[in-house]
Amino acid sequence: MLLCVTAHHRNTAFDLLERLAVDPADLSCGVRDGHAAIRGAVSIATCNRLEVYVDIDAPDLLARSIAQSSVSRALESIGGAEAASAAQSAEILHDAGAIHHLFSVAAGLESVAVGEEEIAGQVKRSAHIAREAGLSTPLLDRAFQEATRTARAARAKGDASRTGRSLARLALDLVGSRLADWSGVNVLLVGTGQYAATTVAALRERGADRIRVYSPSGRAQVFARRSDTEATNELDSSLVWADVVITCTTRLSIGPDDVPDDARCYIVDLGLPRNVDAAVGDLEGVTLLDLETIRLHAPLVHWSAEEDARTVVDAAAHSYVSDSAVEPAIVALRQHVLDLVDSEIARVRSRGDDGRVEEALRHLTSVFLHTPSIMARRHAAAGRADAVSEAIEVLFGLEAGGATGSSHGEALQHGEQGKTVGLGR
């Protein structure tokens, strides 16, 4: 069974998510070693989410209990009691729901900035790290590989390359339309997380060469060295210095009283929850663009592309779950036939016949199994996985165990994404 324990920006406050900033490899290892029923674990850790995908050999309710306690203990071991407490609002998704969520995350559809491209790389790296550390399993590998493929397909369908799926890039385009040239423009960046790094890259692409970084958490110096920008500890004077201010942090709230009277700038608020009070936009000399404003000004194709991407993800998740539902039956059939062939080959060899007989038998086996495998997957995609399993059991006397996933495929088809439960006690 595949489970996902997820704490993200929709179910967990940002100040709590900060406490969940743990090393994903350490977390995967702690979870995998937390119970004998857990075969493997892959963790995804970003500034907006912490997720653990678990391959577990246990019935549904027991599996969720094991996953919950294993993640809690691992977090407490790595990050202390605060980390374990911060994950109380996490949810547990299982089977079809976990797959749909993983595919949506990889495609950027669950991000703060819907459609962001950076998350796909983070998902891929998480799977690679777990695999290299021996923490993954074939089930997890296949799910993450398909998630990466689906993310590429969703971006292509959503025409992401031409519309610029990052909100930071879209916001900079809106501001840039009012500037003659980004070169020489004073830019103040508030925040030092992953999205701040993405914003710096977008600024460089546009020719911005005067970028100053302020961090409420005191990380500006380190970030500045890595990004070749200038660090500052003075917010007030930097607001006066800046022509453009971009905020993307969780530790700061700027109100009208925080903005000096002589500040003249565009302020782009990418924070969620917002970093800048809407009343700041009423100050003389200040133009405020928040997420709502950016969405209103976005080209129609940019946001309709999201629906196209969701269509791709829904179809891919449904297909994956349907295939998974019938896979045990196909494996059982293949193994049955291969065992019969091996027995026949052994009998032929005992009589001293040459290898051409073995070659012919194995070729015949491959041809024989091809059409049943294809048809089984087609019927599974149509919601008849249980019927396939029953047919194989009746015709061949095989126990195809585990082929109960057609209900998951049907659930996805009707909009359900798997049952969710809180991680909290």
Specify the pLDDT at position 414.
37
Structure tokens at 187: 């830019």
Unique residue bearing structure tokens 């059409």:
371
Taken in order of first residue, the domains within the chain and their CATH numbers are: 2-163 (3.30.460.30), 167-299 (3.40.50.720), 311-370+383-413 (no CATH)
Straight-line distance from the first to the last Cα atom of the chain, in angstroms, rounded to the nearest whole number: 22
3-state SS track over the chain: CEEEEEEECCCCCHHHHHHCCCCHHHHHHHHHCCCCCEEEEEEEEECCEEEEEEEECCCHHHHHHHHHHHHHHHHHHHHHHHHHHHHHHCEEEECHHHHHHHHHHHCCCCCCCCCCCHHHHHHHHHHHHHHHCCCCCHHHHHHHHHHHHHHHHHHHHCCHHHHCCCHHHHHHHHHHCCCCCCCCCEEEEECCCHHHHHHHHHHHHCCCCEEEEECCCCCHHHHHHHHCCEEECCHHHHHHHCCEEEECCCCCCECHHHCCCCCCEEEEECCCCCCECHHHHHCCCEEEECHHHHHHHCCHHHHHHHHHHHHHHHHHHHHHHHHHHHHHHHHHHHHHHHHHHHHHHHHHHHCCCCHHHHHHHHHHHHHHHHHHHHHHHHHHHCCCHHHHHHHHHHHHCCCCCCCCCHHHHHHHHCCCCCCCEECCC
Specify the pLDDT at position 404.
39
Cβ atoms of 66 and 37 closer than 8 Å: yes
Q: Which of 4, 29, 47, 265 is catalytic?
A: 47
> What digits encode the pLDDT tens for the residues 231-251?
999 999 999 999 999 998 877
Per-residue CA distances from 276 to 216, 249, 272 (Å): 14, 11, 10
Specify the pLDDT at position 191.
92
Ramachandran class of 47: left when φ > 0, alpha when ψ lies in -120 to 50, beta otherwise: alpha
Other C-beta atoms closer than 10 Å to the C-beta of 348 total 15
> What digits encode the pLDDT tens for the residues 52-94?
999 999 988 899 999 989 999 999 999 888 888 878 888 999 8
Selection from 26-30, 153-157, 273-277 with the highest mean pLDDT = 26-30
Specify the pLDDT at position 301.
45
pLDDT at residue 287 tops 80: yes
Specify the pLDDT at position 345.
75
Task: Summarize the confidence of residues 34-52 as an average pLDDT.
Answer: 91
pLDDT at residue 420 tops 80: no
Specify the pLDDT at position 13.
78
- Among 233-247, 330-344, 369-383, 409-423, which stretch is predicted with the lowest mean pLDDT? 409-423
Which of the pair, 333 or 70, is modelled with greater confidence?
70
Which of the pair, 373 or 92, is modelled with greater confidence?
92
pLDDT at residue 280 tops 90: yes
**What is the Cα–Cα distance from 175 to 170, expressed in whole angstroms?**
9
**What is the Cα–Cα distance from 341 to 137, expressed in whole angstroms?**
29
> What digits encode the pLDDT tens for the residues 139-190?
999 999 999 999 988 887 765 444 445 677 878 888 988 888 899 999 999 9
Backbone φ and ψ of 106, nearest 5°:
-60, -35
Structure tokens at 168: 């930071």
Q: Considering the chain, what is the average pLDDT of its residues? A: 81
Which of the pair, 336 or 1, is modelled with greater confidence?
1
Task: Summarize the confidence of residues 300-307 as an average pLDDT.
Answer: 57
Going edge to edge, which strands form the sheet with 286-289?
230-232, 210-214, 186-190, 244-247, 265-269, 286-289
Task: Give yes or no: 47 in active site.
Answer: yes
